[in-house]
Structure 1
Amino acid sequence: MSVLKETSQKYSTQFWNDSCDLKDLEYALDNNCIGATTNPIIVKSVLQNNLEFYEKEILKIIEEKPTLTEDEIAWIMIEKMAVDGAKKLEPIYNPKTGTGRISIQTNTKYCKSPDLILSQALHFATLAPNIQIKIPVTSAGVKAIEEATYHGISINATVCFSVPQAVAVAEAVERGLKRRMEEGKDNSEITPVCTIMIGRTDDYIKKVIKPQDRLIDPEALEWAGIACAKKYYTLYKERNYKTKLLTAAFRNIHHWTALVGGDLLATIPPDFQKKINGSNVDIKDQIDIPVDSKLMQQLLTVPEFVKAYDVDGMSVHEFDHYGAVIDTLTQFYQGYDELVQIIRKYILR
């Protein structure tokens, strides 16, 4: 039995495939994966790695609808990958638990507009019954999360790196659920998740520290995201939020092992799944084991970490200006631009 399969059987800790590549998804499902996800960078990579398969679809679209723009074709392909993944996951789909869902991400260019985010989320929700909608945790995104929840959509909050962001997401979901309940609407098939991109939290704190005239134990910098995840996992449980924690952006083995045992999800890249399964890992409950106090003392000397770790470290408005948010949105913009450039070559050939 693989490490991931054994973990999923021993604990409530379950995992998603951090890709919509159907071959990767098949491997993940064999190891008890219960979901999958996409984003602009993932879609671009899947298209590049399977170009022989997808170029037929692109050329067919161009032939049948030659006036479509590169952006319109790009979104057709993004939606196709999500729908194909949804079909692959359909046999395990359970709307009550959220098992068998695939996430599709709203347009990064809409990150400042709650109305545009919501409009696209409502459209995405019609693509397949087991679609989950990724919304960035910007100030606009928090508003859209409440509205999307009110409309019965299961959201996946993304571009999230901090405890205050995670709390804002959970509270927005609760407001949406309460409005539905007051109108007598059923909430039993709404299964929201909030992603904390733990590896990207680490990346940002490392970036902040690098130009400073001081040294921090490099091991401490590998635990920043985990510290935030553990803190808001505890908060979620104490406050009985319906939203579930989903960890993402794995960089090292701690990002998986340190959270095993929690009633949570981890979205794991295909290559990292194989590394976990190929490792001699002692599977044990570590979710309630705090990050080493000596490492935490060092992290708490970094103001940008304190912003991410303290419940009141940032206001919702400040989310838009937090460095990790800006860095990740920039990368998502770039990933989308590169996807469009691939499409453009077919339009101009």
Structure 2
Amino acid sequence: MTENLRKLSDEGVSIWLDDISRERLRTGNLEQLVKERHVVGVTSNPTIFAKALSKGSAYDDQVRDLAVRGVDVEEAVRAITTYDIRWGCDVLRPVHDRTEGLDGRVSIEVDPRLARDRERTVAEARALWWMVDRPNLFIKIPATVEGLPAISQALSEGISVNVTLIFSLERYGQVIDAFFEGLERARENGRDLSKISSVASFFVSRVDTEIDKRLDKVGSEEAAGLRSKAGVANARLAYALYEERTASDRWKALKDAGARPQRPLWASTGVKDPDLPDTLYVDQLIAPGTVNTMPEATLEATADHGEVPGDTVRASYDQARAHMNALKQVGVDYDDVVRVLEDEGVQKFETSWNELLDTVAGELRDKGGAKGSGA
């Protein structure tokens, strides 16, 4: 069952798991996935942590200690999440060393309520970088307009960044600029660029969900024929932009100074529509120098019956452009789609963060002594 995953890895796709939990770490499951499923990285988000905390008893001892100490809920959440991330970094450290820092990365997100606040985002990134204190950490910063200068600032200070919640090609271009600027400032500060890493998380399935909803409202036969193809087309055009920008003189100067490229990462690759192949966003987005972060169900589906014919991106640029143009012709407003998706993405993470705060606050009360909700 690992042959498909091996082939995918051989094509230059780094396989990351979009999940982490204390139970997964404690049982050795993550280490097993690294050994048996070619997993070379891990991503997390507030939803993943809220889900992990709601199941089982893996966090009970730590929560009890935090309750006895009387910490507030915000400090407790940071203590709990950074504990898991630090442990995950240690599990992935051999991969990090073996790949000379390319993979073996574990991501933790800044408080999503700060997505529109540049200064607080930078301060939070610094705090998380210090708390986890592992070279194979990624700090996730949303690609909002306000997040762009925060990304540059974090990178300039030597903090490796996973830029998340990217939906539009225009915003992705701005993310690349922010990445270049951050590295240029780091170089001016005398930092070793080879030690600074970044990925750009381009979301896939949510694009199809939103656009398919709009196509269904159009209701024509032509619109029906365009369903469930925009997510892949959008991501393929993102890779075309990545190739274009990494061929620039600006990037060449950074590369000559030791910088690594900011790899495109395909996020939200779990298929939402049950009528679609469950490995769609893996099979159709195979290209060298990319990352695909998968929920475990998608990982196992790919291992079982995924199709890995080779590069499925670079020969499809014209087809992808034609598809996006056809969407415009039937009345789908791309700019409005990506604006809605970014706003919803931030809101969903905020909601999950508040649920996480509420869950931890309840656990602290149950175990004797939280000082406040902090939400």
Same fold (TM over 0.5): yes
Task: Quote the residue 1:149 is aligned against.
Answer: 155
Amino acid at match of 2:7: T
SS at match of 2:344: helix
Does 2:283 align with 1:257?
yes
Whole-angstrom distance in 1 between the partners of 2:360 and 2:222? 44
SS at match of 2:59: helix
Task: Quote the residue 1:301 is aligned against.
Answer: 329
SS at match of 1:246: strand
Deviation of residue 25 (structure 1)?
A: 2.5
Shift in CA distance, 98/2, structure 1 to aligned 2, threshold 3 Å: same
Contact 2:172/2:238 (<8 A) preserved: yes
Does 2:341 align with 1:338?
no
Contact 1:71/1:340 (<8 A) preserved: yes
Amino acid at match of 1:299: L
Deviation of residue 4 (structure 1)?
A: 4.2
Per-residue deviation, residues 73-98 of structure 1 (Å, max 9, x unmatched): 12221211211211111121138443
Deviation of residue 38 (structure 1)?
A: 0.6
Higher mean C-alpha deviation, range 332-341 or range 139-148: 332-341
Task: Quote the residue 2:60 is aligned against.
Answer: 55
Task: Tell me the percent identity.
Answer: 22
Whole-angstrom distance in 1 between the partners of 2:320 and 2:151? 34
Task: Quote the residue 1:91 is aligned against.
Answer: 94
Whole-angstrom distance in 1 between the partners of 2:333 and 2:297? 29
Shift in CA distance, 210/24, structure 1 to aligned 2, threshold 3 Å: farther
Task: Quote the residue 2:73 is aligned against.
Answer: 70
Higher mean C-alpha deviation, range 213-222 or range 260-269: 213-222
Root-mean-square deviation (CA), in Å?
2.4
Whole-angstrom distance in 2 between the partners of 1:97 and 1:218? 44
Aligned residues: 335
Deviation of residue 304 (structure 1)?
A: 5.6
Shift in CA distance, 248/280, structure 1 to aligned 2, threshold 3 Å: closer
Does 2:280 align with 1:274?
no
Contact 2:279/2:301 (<8 A) preserved: no
Shift in CA distance, 38/4, structure 1 to aligned 2, threshold 3 Å: farther
Amino acid at match of 2:344: D
* Aligned counterparts, 1:165-244, within 5 A: 165-212=171-218, 214=220, 217-218=223-224, 220-240=226-246, 242-244=261-263
Higher mean C-alpha deviation, range 74-83 or range 35-44: 74-83
Per-residue deviation, residues 209-259 of structure 1 (Å, max 9, x unmatched): 444454555563322121121112112112215211000111142211111
Does 2:25 align with 1:25?
no
* Aligned counterparts, 1:98-137, within 5 A: 98-126=102-130, 127=132, 128-137=134-143
Shift in CA distance, 165/28, structure 1 to aligned 2, threshold 3 Å: farther
Whole-angstrom distance in 2 between the partners of 1:216 and 1:52? 52
Task: Quote the residue 1:82 is aligned against.
Answer: 85
Deviation of residue 27 (structure 1)?
A: 4.3
SS at match of 1:278: helix
Whole-angstrom distance in 2 between the partners of 1:70 and 1:163? 38
Whole-angstrom distance in 2 between the partners of 1:304 and 1:153? 38
SS at match of 2:93: helix
Amino acid at match of 1:102: V
Structure 1 residue runs of 5 or longer lacking an equivalent are: 310-318
Whole-angstrom distance in 2 between the partners of 1:280 and 1:114? 40
Shift in CA distance, 280/347, structure 1 to aligned 2, threshold 3 Å: closer
Amino acid at match of 1:306: Y
Amino acid at match of 2:18: D
Structure 2 residue runs of 5 or longer lacking an equivalent are: 252-260, 272-277, 367-375
